[in-house]
């Protein structure tokens, strides 16, 4: 009986948050361990289904770096990273698109549908969803910078109660495909949709101070300070920059949370304190 009462109390305590977020748009970048570990993957899919059922409009954008690496290695296609971004040759781009659009995207979509959530898998090439130009004049090969988002397509899908699952592949006017960093893709999509929140799942607790302790809230001034003293460094810089850019361009808040923790999405949004770092300007 005690366990049943505790479960009922937990469900009841989530009610104010469910009411608050109903019909709001959440853009979620899905990657890291949450995408690779089978148990975490199943729990993440169930959490997305729950968020969808209670009326939150979910847009899911996924990465796939480790699986891309695996396929490139198998095919003996060399790949290197420059400033944290994969240099993508024409040959590598074919593999990137195959893995992201044809493999990972369809797996996620199928799992959501299996759990009773109406999901549709698309890439940025569908209906010109994501238009792009070469990043830094082609310094990174076929890595793109998004110039336009077809927000109407996503909004139409959301209005029809679908969960769009987006592979971060974009296209230019000459129909060249471009590899888009999934964090940057999420930030561009969230801004185009004027989303309530954008969420980045990572393999860390969030933003940590020099003592390794979680920083639960950040604003622009504090972000600048932490970057200047190199508390925020390396691969976390583009993630934080993407989150900050969203907040500067209409998104209510950005969240960097630990995807290694089961039910991290529910803990972040349906509890008072959350479990990650919230960025709000």
Average pLDDT, integer, range 201-208:
92
| Distance (Å, whole) CA 253 – CA 214 | 17
Q: How far is CA 121 from the centre of its chain?
A: 15
Query: Could you tell me the two tokens for 122?
Result: 């698309």
pLDDT of amino acid 158: 98
| Distance (Å, whole) CA 220 – CA 188 | 19
Print burial letters for 239-268: b (CB count within 10 Å at least 16), e (below 16): bbbbbbbbbeeebebbbbbbbbbeebbbbb
pLDDT > 70? residue 7: no
Structural contact between residues 184 and 238, judged by C-beta atoms closer than 8 angstroms = yes
Nearest one of 63, 25, 75 to 195, comparing CA atoms: 25
Structural contact between residues 25 and 195, judged by C-beta atoms closer than 8 angstroms = yes
Q: pLDDT-derived band of residue 4, with 50, 70 and 90 as boundaries?
A: low
Q: What is the DSSP code string of 203-223?
A: SSSSSB-TTS-B--EE-HHHH
Provide the CATH topology of domain 22-279: Carbamate kinase (3.40.1160)
Structural contact between residues 60 and 48, judged by C-beta atoms closer than 8 angstroms = yes
Q: pLDDT-derived band of residue 6, with 50, 70 and 90 as boundaries?
A: low
Domain boundaries defined on the chain: 22-279
Angstrom CA distances, 47 to 40, 256, 259, stand at 10, 17, 12
pLDDT digits (tens, 9 = 90+) for 32-64: 888 888 999 999 999 999 999 999 999 999 999
Query: Could you tell me the two tokens for 20?
Result: 């608050």
Query: Could you tell me the two tokens for 259?
Result: 């995807």
Residue 138, annotated as binding a ligand: no
**280 CB-side CA count, 13 A:** 10
Residue 181, annotated as binding a ligand: no
| Distance (Å, whole) CA 87 – CA 78 | 10
Residue 64, annotated as binding a ligand: yes
pLDDT > 70? residue 231: yes
Average pLDDT, integer, range 114-133:
96
Mean of pLDDT over the chain: 92
| Distance (Å, whole) CA 158 – CA 168 | 18
pLDDT > 80? residue 5: no
pLDDT of amino acid 42: 94
Nearest one of 216, 204, 205 to 277, comparing CA atoms: 216
Residue 86, annotated as binding a ligand: yes
């Amino acid at each position: 009986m005690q366990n049943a009462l505790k479960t009922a109390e937990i469900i009841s305590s989530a009610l104010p948050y469910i009411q608050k977020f109903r019909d709001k748009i959440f853009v979620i970048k899905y990657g890291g361990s949450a995408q690779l570990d089978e148990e975490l993957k199943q729990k993440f899919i169930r959490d997305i289904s729950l968020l969808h059922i209670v009326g939150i409009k979910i847009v899911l954008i996924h990465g796939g770096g480790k699986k891309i690496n695996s396929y490139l290695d198998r095919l003996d296609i060399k790949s290197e990273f420059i400033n944290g971004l994969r240099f993508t040759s024409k040959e590598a781009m074919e593999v990137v698109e195959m893995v992201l659009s044809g493999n990972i995207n369809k797996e996620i979509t199928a799992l959501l549908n299996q759990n009773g959530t109406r999901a549709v898998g698309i890439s940025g090439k569908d209906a010109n969803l994501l238009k792009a130009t070469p990043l830094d004049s082609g310094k990174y090969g076929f890595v793109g910078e998004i110039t336009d988002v077809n927000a109407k397509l996503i909004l139409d899908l959301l209005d029809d109660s679908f969960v769009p699952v987006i592979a971060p592949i974009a296209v230019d006017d000459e129909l060249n495909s471009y590899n888009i960093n999934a964090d940057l893709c999420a930030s561009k999509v969230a801004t185009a949709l004027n989303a309530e929140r954008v969420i980045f799942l990572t393999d860390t607790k969030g933003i940590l101070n020099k003592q390794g302790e979680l920083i639960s809230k950040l604003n622009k001034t504090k972000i600048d300070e932490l970057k200047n003293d190199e508390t925020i460094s390396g691969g976390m810089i583009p993630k934080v920059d993407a989150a900050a850019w969203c907040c500067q361009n209409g998104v209510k808040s950005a969240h960097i949370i630990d995807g290694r923790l089961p039910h991290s999405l529910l803990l972040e949004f349906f509890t008072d304190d959350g479990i990650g770092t919230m960025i709000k300007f």
